[in-house]
């Protein structure tokens, strides 16, 4: 209850959002929260949950009535998650905490999304920002699959370094990060963005760039990022290319050939095969403070958010969604997210006091 802001605040929120209107079947808003946690991360079926709730004196409800009450708690559970995340905004780890290197007060934000599949082909997307310095989920939003991946969904602050995969390589999202005084590192492919040379304004010759990066091991090019359509002031950024190890390059080439066969294309574009040999990043970081090697090292921290998703799925089983209706699914998913946020808090407390 302390973690959630106190019992009184939780009860008020349940009533304000009409998750709890009267003590019928369920005695208190806190009992409703307990039922949501027993159903979600507790892993109980509706029938087992109804029986357990009756045995423990928590609620006296039939299976359909219990499902109805839990479905009505979707906004309540989402609001609890949102409040916990908003209170944690100031608790930010630093770059030095994340990499154990040069002292810096700059905070890192690893951004990614993950697909959560439910019965009947219904899917959801978990959008998440992870703070590797504080070892915790910094932001999280659960949406339907029609809500795409974008950096504009997250609240970057001045001096943050936002690190994201190629799904976030969009001009508007990059601008939203830079406008608040933060910086971005985003992986791209040769066709992710419309890029031109900053000096000449000419389009990039990707085969020539890949050849130069292959010979040198790494390459940097000052570029302008344009929007394919509509009015957009070009963004001056750095294109960074880092040669992959032979095993990783071979795997990337095989993946490109497999994707080509799957799309029934006869030949793989030569630029795709050449680019497969390199890690290609776009960044707004200062060249003097963040040379190519350091940009590459920062991007490789993305494995930490991938592990965070893995913990959510393999330990908390957030991807084993049984709910069919949208409302009951939202309650189930946010109950898991709320527990994950609480576990982050417990682990950080343990780390702060343990010798």
- Give residue-wise pLDDT tens across range 189-226: 999 999 999 999 999 999 999 999 999 999 999 999 99
Give yes or no for residue 116 having a pLDDT over 90. yes
CA distance 102 to 98: 10
268, burial (CB in 10 Å: exposed 0-12, middle 13-18, buried 19+): middle
CA quadruple 161, 165, 168, 169: dihedral positive or negative?
Answer: positive
> Reduced to 3 DSSP states, what percent helix, strand and coil does the chain have, rounded to the nearest 5?
45, 20, 35
Give yes or no for residue 158 having a pLDDT over 80. yes
Q: How many CA atoms lie within 13 A of 113 on its CB side?
A: 22
The model's pLDDT over 160-197, given as tens digits with 9 standing for 90+, comes to 999 999 999 999 999 999 999 999 999 999 999 999 99
Q: What is the average pLDDT value for the chain, to the nearest integer?
A: 91
Q: What is the pLDDT of residue 105?
A: 75
The model's pLDDT over 251-305, given as tens digits with 9 standing for 90+, comes to 988 888 888 777 767 688 899 999 999 999 999 999 999 999 999 999 999 999 9
CA distance 255 to 250: 9
Q: What is the pLDDT of residue 100?
A: 54
Integer-rounded Cα Rg, in Å, for the chain is 24
């Amino acid at each position: 209850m302390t973690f959630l802001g106190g019992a009184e605040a939780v009860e008020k929120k349940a009533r304000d959002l009409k998750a709890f209107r009267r003590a019928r079947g369920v005695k208190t808003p806190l009992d409703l929260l307990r039922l949501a946690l027993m159903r979600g991360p507790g892993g109980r079926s509706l029938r087992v949950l109804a029986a357990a709730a009756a045995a423990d004196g928590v609620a006296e409800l039939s299976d359909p009535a219990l499902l109805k009450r839990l479905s009505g708690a979707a906004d309540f559970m989402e609001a609890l998650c949102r409040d916990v995340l908003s209170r944690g905004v100031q608790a930010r780890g630093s770059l030095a905490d994340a990499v154990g290197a040069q002292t810096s007060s700059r905070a890192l934000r690893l951004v990614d999304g993950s697909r959560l599949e439910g019965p009947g082909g219904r899917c959801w997307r978990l959008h998440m920002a992870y703070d590797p310095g504080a070892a915790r989920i910094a932001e999280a939003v659960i949406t339907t699959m029609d809500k795409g991946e974008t950096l504009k969904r997250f609240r970057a602050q001045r001096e943050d370094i936002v690190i994201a995969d190629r799904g976030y390589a969009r001009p508007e999202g990059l601008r939203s990060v830079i406008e608040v005084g933060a910086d971005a590192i985003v992986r791209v492919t040769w066709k992710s963005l419309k890029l031109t040379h900053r000096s000449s304004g000419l389009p990039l010759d990707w085969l020539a760039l890949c050849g130069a990066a292959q010979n040198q091991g790494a390459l940097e090019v000052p570029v302008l990022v344009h929007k394919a359509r509509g009015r957009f002031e070009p963004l001056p950024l750095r294109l960074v290319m880092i040669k992959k190890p032979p095993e990783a390059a071979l795997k990337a080439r095989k993946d490109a050939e497999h994707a080509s066969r799957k799309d029934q294309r006869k030949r793989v574009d030569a630029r795709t095969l050449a680019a497969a040999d390199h890690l290609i990043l776009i960044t707004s970081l200062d060249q003097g403070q963040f040379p190519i090697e350091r940009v590459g090292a920062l991007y490789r921290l993305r494995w930490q958010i991938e592990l965070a998703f893995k913990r959510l799925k393999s330990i908390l089983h957030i991807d084993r969604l049984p709910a069919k209706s949208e409302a009951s699914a939202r309650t189930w998913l946010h109950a898991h997210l709320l527990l994950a946020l609480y576990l982050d808090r417990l682990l950080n407390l343990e780390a702060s006091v343990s010798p």
